[in-house]
Amino acid sequence: MADVHLPMPTVRPAVGGLAKLAPEPVRYLLNWGRKYSLWVFNFGLACCAIEFIAASMGRHDFIRLGVIPFAPGPRQADLMVVSGTVTDKMAPAIKRLYEQMPEPKYVISFGSCSNSGGPYWDSYCVTKGVDQIIPVDVYVPGCPPRPEALLQGILKLQEKIAGEDVTTRYEPSAQALTRGLVQPAVTPGPVEPR
CA distance 100 to 33: 22
Residue 48 counted as an annotated binding residue: yes
**Long-range contacts made by residues 26-30, C-beta under 8 angstroms, separation at least 24?**
26/166, 27/164, 27/165, 27/166, 30/166
Alpha carbon of 132 to those of 12, 102, 135, 152, 182: distances in Å? 51, 20, 8, 23, 25
* Helices marked H in 81-165: 91-100, 112-116, 147-162
143 is in an annotated binding site: yes
47 is in an annotated binding site: yes
| CA dist., res. 107 & res. 91, Å (int) | 14
Give which of 149, 74, 135, 85 is closest to 107, Cα–Cα: 135
Cα–Cα distance for residue pair 149/55, rounded to 1 Å: 9
How many beta carbons lie within 10 A of that of residue 134, not counting itself?
A: 19
- The annotation places the binding site at 47-48, 113, 143
- The annotation places the binding site for [4Fe-4S] cluster at 47-48, 113, 143
